[in-house]
Structure 1
Amino acid sequence: MQSHPGVTRRTYLRLTGLATLTTGLAGCSGGGNDDGGSDEALSGEDYPAVDEWLTETEVGGEAPNYDGTIVNQREEDTVQVDVGAGDNGIAFEPAAVAVSAGTTVRWEWTGEGGAHNVTAGPDDQIGESDYEFSSGDPVDEEGETYEQTLDDSGIALYHCEPHLSVGMKGAVVVE
């Protein structure tokens, strides 16, 4: 990001996410996807706890791949989140995803970035997570999976314990 006086990183990310969303929506006006718009991204601004968790928080670093948008996967029965994504293997991809109640989220390890785990607990995530779960001890094996079915509306904020300080965080919005 090029430095501009008075523009914070958060503002830049929101504007970039809005520009991306606007550009993506411009192509949706004719023909295209008729499945209810499941490929339309959601704005992180509509989910302040998600936006705070992944950007400006006193718990851990900022998620390196969060751009202010939430991937909309509400039409899917199962959604995959890569564990060990990004240039250095220290990210969840996507960083934020929206699903319907009853969806199973499957975290799958890429084998990159060292040993990871997936941990959600209201006391660990700025007091805003509605879910509590853990994949257990960190592992580094490619193809390892952990699944959690999210039955109730709410927000699951989660992180990788060994890499929380460098922003390995994620969020699932359940609607």
Structure 2
Amino acid sequence: MKRSVSVDSNRRTVLKSLGTVSTVGLIGLAGCSGNGGGNGDGVETIPGNDYPAVDEWMTETEIGGADDSYEGEILDLREEGDVTIDVGAEGNGDGFAYGPSAVAISAGSEIRWEWTGEGGQHNVQAEPDGQIGESDYEFSSGDSVAGADNEYSHTFDESGVALYHCVPHLSLGMKGSVVVD
């Protein structure tokens, strides 16, 4: 199919077009500068080494395996009211990760962990004494369960760090971290 296009190449049209292209280009570059990192999805990140307990927990091998889905960055979700984390996300041998595995939230935010149905039975457990002694929170979803129709929620009311894991898959590196600011 041949298409004919009428071209109006006067000076005003050319300048108007260049202005539009420049504006679109500047909007497209917004967020590409500054000190914060990004994950490629437009979500800012915080370097994991800003929170040594998080970095140690996610990469520590003396207590469970290292989480291979953790890339040394914490997703900055402090502007979100509620956050959802997948349980049984891809990672650590397939279906044995939390997704995302490390997040930062604001005090008063709720996190809802939702099972994907992948990787068998899972749970969510924070027990400071049984981890690296650096977690400010203690909580548990209870016994491990399988299936995509399970969820667990916890509201984080105070600033601190929560380190958690899946009991049956700790040795595979199924760990998570929450920074509460």
> Pairwise CA RMSD of aligned residues?
1.8
CA distance in 2, matches of 1:166, 1:40: 28
Question: In the alignment, does 2:97 pair up with 1:81?
Answer: no
Identity within the alignment, %: 64
Q: Equivalent of 2:50, from 46, 52, 59?
A: 46
Aligned match of 1:104: 110
User: Using the alignment, how far apart are the partners of 1:137 and 1:148 within structure 2?
Assistant: 16
Out of 52, 68, 75, which is 1:71 matched to? Answer: 75
The AA in structure 1 aligned to 2:54 is V
Cα displacement (A) at 1:117 = 0.2
Distance 1:26 1:170 in 2: 30
Report SS of the residue matched to 2:171.
helix
Q: Against the structure 1 CA distance between its residues 167 and 26, is the aligned structure 2 distance closer, same or farther, given a 3 Å change threshold?
A: farther
Per-residue CA shift, 1:2-47, capped at 9, x if unaligned?
xxxxxxxxxxxxxxxxxxxxxxx985339xxxxxxx8211100100
Q: Secondary structure at the match of 1:158?
A: strand
* 2:158 corresponds to 1:152: yes
Aligned to 2:10: none
Which blocks of at least 5 consecutive residues in structure 1 are unaligned? 1-24, 31-37
Give the Cα separation in 1 of the matches to 2:169 and 2:124: 10
- Of 124, 135, 144, the residue aligned with 1:138 is 144
Which residue pairs with 2:64 in the alignment? Answer: 60
CA distance in 2, matches of 1:63, 1:139: 21
> How many residues in Structure 1 have an aligned counterpart in Structure 2?
144
Q: Is there any run of 5+ residues in structure 2 with no aligned partner, and where? A: 1-28, 35-41
The structure with the largest alpha-carbon Rg is 2
The two structures have a TM-score, normalised by structure 1, of 0.78
Shift of 1:143: 2.8
Matches within 5 A, 1:1-16: none
> Shift of the alpha carbon at 1:105?
0.4
Report Cα offsets for 1:104-163 as digits up to 9, x if no partner. Answer: 000000000000000001102200000000000001110311000000100000000000
Query: What's the CA shift string for 1:27-81, capped at 9, x where partnerless?
Result: 5339xxxxxxx82111001000000000024110001200000001001111001
Q: Which runs of 4+ in 1 moved over 6 A?
A: none
- In structure 2, the partner of 1:164 is 170
